[in-house]
Amino acid sequence: MQPNDLDPTGSGVVTFVNRFTVHASAEEFEKAFAETGRYLADRDGFLRYTLHRHAEDPTRWVNIAHWRDAAAFRAAVGSPSFAPHAAAVRRLGTSEPGLYVPRQYVSGEWAATEDR
């Protein structure tokens, strides 16, 4: 994401954050999630995702995905062909999803050049 991607109207890049509590094995969850990720990567507007596991609690995970805009995200997850992927992941845990609009952006490079 670049600073010029920040659009306060919400018509630019959006971030989807989904926090999971997983009751299956890490391997099973990662496999199901990877299949879902491959499906979403082929959808129009998908930019990237990262899946993180909590450093101290192996049952807690977070997915952070970036999309070109909210409409592209909604079209992808609203497609009937997405339902089996969502169901496969939901069988393995519970989730708290949310769509977010970027409001601030700071990079290490920028921070290193700022006069403090």
Q: One-letter amino acid identity for 107?
A: S
Q: What is the per-residue pLDDT for 115?
A: 58
Q: One-letter amino acid identity for 112?
A: A
Give Cβ neighbours of residue 115 (< 8 Å, ≥ 6 apart). none
Residues present in the chain in total: 116
Q: What is the per-residue pLDDT for 4?
A: 45
Q: How far apart are the first and last CA of the chain?
A: 25
Q: What is the per-residue pLDDT for 112?
A: 62
Contact 99, 73 (CB under 8 A): yes
SS3 of 24, please? coil
The residue with tokens 């609690």 is 57
Q: What is the per-residue pLDDT for 111?
A: 60
Q: What is the per-residue pLDDT for 110?
A: 61
The residue with tokens 């306060």 is 8
SS3 of 7, please? coil
- What stretches in the chain show pLDDT beneath 70? 1-11, 110-116
Q: What is the per-residue pLDDT for 9?
A: 53
Q: What is the per-residue pLDDT for 17?
A: 98
The residue with tokens 């199901």 is 32
